[in-house]
Structure 1
């Protein structure tokens, strides 16, 4: 928030309240055990397209060699939170690569 955006603070606060209420109503996201196990088995140093495709399919995000953007990002964020940092970085790079293909 700065002087240039001060006039929009009330709208921002209202939108933030609505977003918080929606997030609370949706509840926490649980990563399916099989998805968590599949992610844990991946080696970030050798993550290839086939392994990433399999993870996308298991997560319900695969789409004909690309990425199906989910309606909510909470499941994606929950999976990333469950992954070790090096794998998280490799998954984000692969995900962004797919979005730009």
Structure 2
């Protein structure tokens, strides 16, 4: 989802990701409480540590996901392709296959 970090953009994202049978663990950003139903919403850092760790790893591995960097792409297509490529190589089998193919050829 591309847009400003505000309630309007989050409402658009919520329409895409929301599920009735899920609990959503977030930090205390006020927009979450405005959009996520109270019975599905749990606020607290203790529940978001693994999510933040994953986000940190993503930003570390893909510079264009880091704010205030020279390699940020404003093209939604390029960002989408970058994430797909990163997810592909997060699977160790895909990574090993590509490394082995490089040495075989």
- The answer to whether TM tops 0.5 is no
TM-score between both structures, scaled by the size of structure 2: 0.27
Structure with more contact order per residue of length (Cα contacts < 8 Å, sep ≥ 6): 1
